[in-house]
Amino acid sequence: MKNLPVANGLRLLGNPSTIHQRLLEWSGRYGPLYRFNLFGRPFVVVSETQAVQRILRERPDGFRRLSAIESVLTEMGVDGLFAVEGEEWQRRRRLVTPAFTPNRLRGLDDTVDVITDRLARRWRKDPVEDVHADLMRFTVDVMARVAFGYDLNTLEGGGNAIEERLQRLFPMIGKRVNAPVPYWRYVKLPADRALDRALRELREDVDAVIATARTAETPTNFVEALIQQHEDSEAFTAAELFAESLTVLVAGQDTTANTLAWLLYHLAQHPEVRERIRAESAEEKRPYLAAVIAESMRLLPISPFLFLESLRPYVIDDTEVPAGTAVIVLPGHGAVDEANFDDPEAFRPERWLTGYTGTHNAKASMPFGGGPRFCPGRSLALLEIEAVATMVCRDFELSLPTPHVPPRERFTFAVEPVGLRLLLTAR
């Protein structure tokens, strides 16, 4: 790896919340393959689209997620599908994925519709102060119904104890995975103690759900579907049920809320796009809406890079990367590369429609990852995103306040918009 261009890894420590922007900027400067060292450990960064796709496909045998992800999630008891590796991952993926597909869970469409209506009511009732916070309430309400059958209704009922417990998880996972030293194994700060308490209480919540879920006939939530699944095949232990249901909650909440927030930010700047979504909203098939969502996720993927680790020696562009090397793949780079998309910085949904003749390599945009570990929640996320985008374009006028300060991108474990301000008024 000695021949690779070297970046100064220490510069990532100054502002970990912009790590994705720094990695992308370095790809522009150092090229599609470069390395940096951090605390004595070499990291290789790969941004060329085909190399990224090949690496993602080499899982689970050739590459795994960075081992810190598994150890951090395992000690929290959240060692579900996202965290496990190898044969155990294969077993879980086979059993878990079918349990939260829209056709397996009775009433999923209705759940999303009911909660979208609540979001619209909230926005009609009071001036919208913090769109992003409301979208988080929307996704936590959907995910709690999907995972446990709980109707949290944080959108209409204010705060909720379970929501508060969940809100502690996501930032702490990001903080710990990125931490140079696992200090919490030696000293617990107040935030670590609050996390331990939240996890203990969540375990009690999930145990109560498991007890009632065992009596359900047709699964209406994820825990019931997992329990029923094992009656057909292999049993999940209580710890596995906890890990899988929390994984789904954590993986499905901020990701979808952030994606929606960036989408609304794009929509606020393009009245002609909103008009077209509105015109299409009564149709059964809505290709334009799908194109708008794909375009927003291309420009602002909430997961522009993935932390991996090689499990055996691997050659990238004539460079041999030894087993055990931390490899960061940057799909976000190819998504705005003009080799893949013409005028790549422009928000242009038409590029996703059939018949588009410009440069368009659809596979270079990978907002849900790729290969055998691509996001299994994609259909559910798209169901939610389509429902909210349609509701907003149909029922509200959307604009940016003046003067307008663009939101800042902050990476925790997904990229969120900080300081996003949007004006929504009922039509």
The residues that touch ligand HEM, with contacts defined as CB under 6 A, are: 56, 81-82, 93, 100, 247-248, 251-252, 255-256, 259, 302-303, 306, 367-371, 373-377, 380-381
**Nearest-5° Cα angle at 292, 104 to 132:** 75
Output the smallest distance, CB 107 to ligand HEM, in A: 15
**CB burial class (10 A; 0-12, 13-18, 19+) of residue 358?**
exposed
Output the smallest distance, CB 85 to ligand HEM, in A: 9
Output the smallest distance, CB 387 to ligand HEM, in A: 13
Which residue number, 169 or 302, has a Cβ lying nearer to ligand HEM? 302
Angstrom distance (rounded) from CA 136 to CA 65 = 26
Which residue number, 7 or 388, has a Cβ lying nearer to ligand HEM? 388
List, in order, residues 6 or more apart from 90 with CB less than 8 Å away. Answer: 60
List, in order, residues 6 or more apart from 345 with CB less than 8 Å away. Answer: 299, 336
Q: Report the amino acid identity of residue 17.
A: S
Output the smallest distance, CB 427 to ligand HEM, in A: 26
Output the smallest distance, CB 413 to ligand HEM, in A: 10
**Nearest-5° Cα angle at 405, 381 to 305:** 40
Which residue number, 30 or 368, has a Cβ lying nearer to ligand HEM? 368
Which residue number, 184 or 310, has a Cβ lying nearer to ligand HEM? 310
SS (H, E, C) 232-288: HCCCCCHHHHHHHHHHHHHHHHHHHHHHHHHHHHHHHCCHHHHHHHHHHCCCCCCHH
Output the smallest distance, CB 374 to ligand HEM, in A: 5
Which residue number, 81 or 316, has a Cβ lying nearer to ligand HEM? 81
Angstrom distance (rounded) from CA 261 to CA 257 = 6
Which residue number, 100 or 170, has a Cβ lying nearer to ligand HEM? 100
Angstrom distance (rounded) from CA 315 to CA 123 = 53
Angstrom distance (rounded) from CA 200 to CA 195 = 9
Output the smallest distance, CB 127 to ligand HEM, in A: 27
Which residue number, 111 or 255, has a Cβ lying nearer to ligand HEM? 255
Angstrom distance (rounded) from CA 424 to CA 187 = 45
